[in-house]
């Protein structure tokens, strides 16, 4: 069956991790895949997760199926986290949430479901966007269009062009946004800009789909959800894909959620019925462990506080490494200003390094960076920062 078929190219992010594992340079550094590392270069299990797992192990009596939509307490907890406890959306039952296998699973289930009712639909994605967005939506049957976002010259947001493009998006199309910590650029919209996006969505009747994979990694759990809150203030249809890979460190538990918000409770109920049909034929119902762990932490005051503290520690370490990178580069004799990296938020930084420099760093120094120049700032540690800065300085001199 496969003899005349060409092999597919390796994934631009996970393929890099595979190559990194085989790298023999003893000083190698992986700045590719978006996985948090502590200053010792480890990806630890959070203490609040360990505590919740202990509780779960003690009280678990059965491994029978969960409902198609997952554990109901998990869905409630997700809604409180993404909308805020007192949100009108929750009070008026305008949201339907399922446990999806990771943020990717949430995006894919949402895309699959929407494609049922909009077979030749188009999804608009930012230029640039996370490499997997295109694949997820095109495999579900969507045509892909791009809206202007990152301006390479200013190293910031191209707001005017972005706004003009959104004003021209046809009614019924999907528009995919990064709710915070834009991946790959680290450049986010401000409060007024989100307000304007929500206004345009309402006026033009296209459907916002918020990819919310990094809640708590920019400023705080509350400030990072402003985009979701502002959409919720409008009585419009929109979707949110959440992920607990990063903020709970539950990468391999595939713990995400898809939330559909509708203008009324009845419409949300209809959405849930179709969501369940979509899930049933793909994976039937979700795995339990990650969702139960998150629900245990979020529904317990002391575990919740512990989680907020651990999340803050991760966020602050990343912010510290951003500063160390900028200071380290400016202390070396390089003719480029990298201070813009301090203004970016989240796990990633669009470094401005070009593909030649990226290849040079990989081949000569064992430093792995995703094509396009995205650096996982969380991969920097006090042990490797000097090596990375020296190597970048050397790459600039060699070029």
Q: Which of 15, 28, 33, 84 binds ligand LMR (CB under 6 A)?
A: 33
Q: Which is nearer to ligand LMR, 132 or 146 (CB)?
A: 132
Shortest Å distance, C-beta 158 to ligand LMR: 22
Reply yes or no on whether 130 is catalytic: yes
Residue 100 near ligand LMR by CB under 6 A: no
Bridge partners for 178 per DSSP: 211
With tokens 């909009």, the residue in question is 118
Shortest Å distance, C-beta 33 to ligand LMR: 4
Q: Rounded to an integer, what is the distance from CA 239 to the centroid of its chain?
A: 14
Q: Which of 158, 173, 211, 237 is catalytic?
A: 211
Residue 17 near ligand LMR by CB under 6 A: no
Residue 186 near ligand LMR by CB under 6 A: no
Residue 183 near ligand LMR by CB under 6 A: yes
User: What does the DSSP 8-state code read for residue 285?
Assistant: S
Shortest Å distance, C-beta 240 to ligand LMR: 16
Q: How many CB atoms lie within 10 A of CB 223?
A: 12
Please state at what angle helix 301-330 crosses helix 385-398, rounded to 10 degrees: 40
User: 396 vs 29, 95, 329, CA distance in Å?
Assistant: 18, 51, 11
Interaction pattern, residues 213-252, with ligand LMR; x per rule: CB under 6 A: ----------------------------------------
Spatial distance between the Cα atoms of 94 and 49, rounded to a whole number of angstroms: 30
Bridge partners for 127 per DSSP: 148
Shortest Å distance, C-beta 26 to ligand LMR: 24
How many residues are given for the chain?
399
According to CB under 6 A, which residues from 110 to 139 bind ligand LMR? 130, 132
Q: Which of 34, 101, 121, 290 binds ligand LMR (CB under 6 A)?
A: 34
Q: Which of 237, 246, 307, 360 is catalytic?
A: 246
Q: Which of 37, 124, 130, 206 is catalytic?
A: 130
Q: How many residues of this chain bind ligand LMR (CB under 6 A)?
A: 6
Residue 292 near ligand LMR by CB under 6 A: no
Spatial distance between the Cα atoms of 68 and 147, rounded to a whole number of angstroms: 35
What number of helices (H) and strands (E) belong to the chain? Answer: 14, 13
Residue 105 near ligand LMR by CB under 6 A: no
Residue 107 near ligand LMR by CB under 6 A: no
Among 259, 255, 269, which residue's Cα sits nearest to residue 231? 259
Spatial distance between the Cα atoms of 263 and 93, rounded to a whole number of angstroms: 10
Q: Which is nearer to ligand LMR, 121 or 379 (CB)?
A: 379
Spatial distance between the Cα atoms of 257 and 89, rounded to a whole number of angstroms: 16
The answer to whether 306 and 147 are in contact (CB under 8 A) is no
Shortest Å distance, C-beta 132 to ligand LMR: 6
Active site (catalytic) residues: 130, 211, 246
Binding site for ligand LMR (CB under 6 A): 13, 33-34, 130, 132, 183
């Amino acid at each position: 069956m496969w003899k005349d078929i060409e092999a597919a190219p390796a994934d631009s992010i996970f393929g890099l991790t595979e190559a990194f594992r085989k790298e023999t340079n003893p000083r190698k550094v992986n700045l590719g895949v978006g996985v948090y590392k502590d200053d010792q270069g480890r990806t630890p299990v959070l203490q609040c997760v360990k505590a919740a797992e202990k509780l779960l192990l003690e009280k678990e009596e059965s491994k029978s199926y969960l409902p198609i939509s997952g554990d109901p307490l998990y869905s409630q907890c997700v809604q409180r986290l993404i909308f805020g406890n007192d949100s009108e959306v929750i009070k008026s039952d305008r949201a339907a949430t399922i446990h999806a296998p990771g943020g990717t699973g949430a995006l894919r289930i949402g895309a699959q479901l929407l494609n049922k009712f909009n077979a030749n639909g188009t999804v608009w994605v930012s230029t640039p966007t996370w490499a997997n967005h295109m694949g997820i939506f095109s495999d579900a049957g969507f045509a892909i269009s791009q809206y202007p976002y990152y301006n390479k010259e200013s190293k910031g947001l191209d707001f005017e062009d972005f706004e003009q493009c959104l004003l021209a998006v046809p009614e019924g199309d999907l528009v995919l946004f990064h709710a915070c910590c834009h991946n790959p650029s680290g450049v986010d919209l401000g409060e007024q800009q989100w307000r304007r996006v929500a206004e345009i969505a309402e006026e033009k009747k296209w459907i916002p789909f918020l990819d919310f994979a990094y809640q708590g990694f920019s400023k705080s759990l509350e400030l990072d959800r402003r985009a979701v809150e502002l959409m919720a203030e409008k009585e419009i249809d929109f979707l949110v894909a959440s992920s607990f890979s990063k903020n709970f460190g539950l990468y391999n538990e595939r713990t995400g959620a898809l939330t559909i918000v509708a203008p009324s409770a009845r419409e949300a109920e209809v959405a849930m019925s179709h969501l369940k049909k979509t899930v049933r034929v793909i994976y039937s119902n979700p795995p339990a462990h990650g969702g139960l762990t998150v629900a245990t932490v979020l529904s317990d005051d002391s575990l919740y506080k512990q989680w907020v503290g651990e999340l803050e520690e991760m966020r602050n370490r990343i912010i510290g490494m951003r500063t160390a990178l900028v200071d380290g580069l400016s202390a070396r004799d390089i003719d480029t200003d990298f201070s813009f990296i301090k203004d970016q938020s989240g796990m990633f930084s669009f470094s401005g390094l070009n593909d030649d420099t990226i290849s040079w760093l990989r081949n000569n120094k064992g430093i792995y960076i995703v094509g396009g120049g995205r650096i996982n700032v969380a991969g920097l540690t006090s042990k490797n920062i000097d090596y990375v800065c020296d190597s970048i300085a050397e790459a600039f001199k060699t070029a």
